[in-house]
Amino acid sequence: VQKMLERAGPDAARPDELDARYGLKENGDYFLSPDQAQSILEMRLNRLTGLEQQRLLSEYEEIVSTISELLIILAQPERLMEIIREELTEIREEYGDERRTEIIGTQEDLTTEDLITEQDMVVTLSNSGYAKTQPITDYQAQRRGGRGRSASAVKDEDFIEHLMVASTHDTILCFTNKGKVYWLRVFEIPVASRAARGRPLVNILPLGPDERITTMLPVREYRDDQFIFMATANGTVKKTPLMEFARRRSSGLIAIELDEDNTLVGASITQGDSDVMLFTSGGKAIRFNEANVRAMGRTARGVRGVKLRQEQTLIALIIPQPDAELLIASENGYGKRSSLEDYSVIGRGGQGVICMKVSERNGPVVGVIQIYNGDEVILISDQGTLVRIRGEEVSTQGRNTQGVRLINLASDESLVGLARVEEADLVDGADEADSDATGTNTPSSADAAGIEGQSSVDDSQTGINDDADS
């Protein structure tokens, strides 16, 4: 009604019978009278619907017209481009300003490492060459006195020889007795449960015949202030910058040149000023600072570390660590613990000092390891006998002594090696409740290495006694 009156303009007049409160006001508003409002309320639904028909028809005609125009535009590419230019020009004039971002052309390739979640893993390698990893989250710190839990299910004649904690993004440098080094990413080692033996390492690394891993060193970054210190069976030592091993090769790389009758005994990461200890089969030991050995390239053969007598060989390379002791064992099954403080630092290249008496009873020295309080030791004979003893049960003696019996051997049997089994610092959460101790002992990632298994060896097998034979 209001629109009708507006279209009527000044000719519109108020009906004489209409009260002044209703009708068109001077400000343009229109107020319905009661009769008008009642008439609208009494209108039928179809009449109300009819009021919208004209609006809908107008809207439909407008849409059809728009569709027709758009179809014409789409059929004419020139017209389409013209409209696009006009719209872009309008947008530029309204919103255009200087670019605040910089577009740089670059290309970045994703590697397998980028797709691997970084987490700490327990890496194990058995004496028979089976490797596997387990998330360290499967374990937690053990209270002193807890039972521990086995990290791996190995056969009776096998045992865990190398065990470490490393990140999935770390690289493990695997040094072999042939003087080669292989690169192994932690995430390349299959993840397995405690009940699994793991995967044979020969299926992961291209190891040659009679080639075995002597040392495994986890590396996070290749620093120019660190070195790889190596020792061979003929008494040669060599120090090579860690950066020399930064470039990975799938087929491995020569870490040290060796003669046919020589083997790599061990390797260790050093800081450039570490003390080094070398042990010989003749019962001699020499301790010197690695600063006496200049850094060399990979192809170098090294320099003399210890002077060997005829038919003697170097059997062990050790970097002395705080709170550690030496455990020395001979071919006929005798051994002892020895304090690191008994060995003074001297120059390299000499014969060293006596670490254990070599006699007809003892035979030559076959192995030297560092042990800590609580560690256990595996003894291995040439007939496949494995005996597990507690390191603390072996008496500590001076350098110039013969030691005590560690294992009873047959007349035609010889001890060929020994390995450290570290104290069980990582256990499954279910075992923590079995501990009655009130204190806790949380190991660092570097110390959290050993998972304790069960030992069925009794004293009659080991033959350990405290009678020192000087």
**pLDDT value of position 431:** 43
Q: Are 117 and 169 in contact (CB under 8 A)?
A: no
pLDDT at 435 over 50: no
The residue assigned the tokens 């038919």 is: 311
Class of domain 118-462: mainly beta
Per cent of the chain over pLDDT 90 is 52
Q: How far apart are CA 165 and CA 225, in angstroms?
A: 23
CB atoms within 10 A of CB 424: 21
Q: CA dihedral in degrees (378, 379, 384, 387; nearest 10)? A: -70
pLDDT at 117 over 70: yes
233 contacts: CB under 8 Å, gap ≥ 6: 262, 263, 264, 265, 313, 314, 315
319 contacts: CB under 8 Å, gap ≥ 6: 229, 268, 270, 274, 275, 276, 277
pLDDT at 454 over 90: no
**pLDDT value of position 305:** 97
Q: How far apart are CA 340 and CA 322, in angstroms?
A: 9
Burial 374-400 (b: 16+ CB within 10 A, else e): ebbbbbbbeeebbbbbbbebbbebebe
CB atoms within 10 A of CB 285: 25
Which of the residue ranges 133-142, 169-178, 441-450 would you say has the lowest mean pLDDT?
Answer: 441-450
pLDDT at 211 over 80: yes
CB atoms within 10 A of CB 453: 18
Which of the residue ranges 85-99, 149-163, 342-356 would you say has the lowest mean pLDDT?
Answer: 149-163
The full DSSP string for 31-65 is E--HHHHHHHHTS-HHHHHHHHHHHHHHHHHHHHH
- Angle, helices 45-75 vs 77-95, to 10°: value is 100
Per-residue pLDDT of 46-100, as tens digits, reads 555 566 677 788 888 899 999 999 999 999 999 999 999 999 999 988 888 887 8
Range picked from 37-41, 103-107, 191-195, 204-208 for highest mean pLDDT: 204-208
Q: Are 333 and 463 in contact (CB under 8 A)?
A: yes
Q: pLDDT grade, residue 434 (50/70/90)?
A: very low
Which residue, among 307, 286, 397, has the nearest Cα to 352 in the 3D structure?
Answer: 286
pLDDT at 438 over 70: no
Terminal CA-CA length for the chain: 128
Per-residue pLDDT of 300-321, as tens digits, reads 999 999 999 998 999 999 999 9
The H-or-E segment that residue 377 falls in is strand 376-381
Q: Are 212 and 176 in contact (CB under 8 A)?
A: yes
**pLDDT value of position 21:** 57
Q: Are 314 and 232 in contact (CB under 8 A)?
A: yes
Q: Can you read off the two tokens belonging to residue 123?
A: 């890496």
Q: pLDDT grade, residue 396 (50/70/90)?
A: very high
Range picked from 3-7, 77-81, 171-175 for highest mean pLDDT: 171-175
Which residue, among 316, 201, 310, 322, has the nearest Cα to 252 in the 3D structure?
Answer: 201
| In the chain, where the domains are located | 2-93, 118-462
Which one is predicted more confidently, 382 or 148? 382
pLDDT, the chain, mean: 81
Write the CA distances from 292 to 232, 273, 275, 289, 314, integer angstroms: 17, 9, 10, 6, 19
DSSP state of 144: T
Which one is predicted more confidently, 112 or 452? 112
Q: 245: helix, coil or strand?
A: helix
Which residue, among 289, 280, 273, 278, has the nearest Cα to 345 in the 3D structure?
Answer: 289
Q: Are 18 and 25 in contact (CB under 8 A)?
A: no
DSSP state of 273: S
Q: Are 316 and 283 in contact (CB under 8 A)?
A: no
Amino acid identity for residue 274 in this structure: S
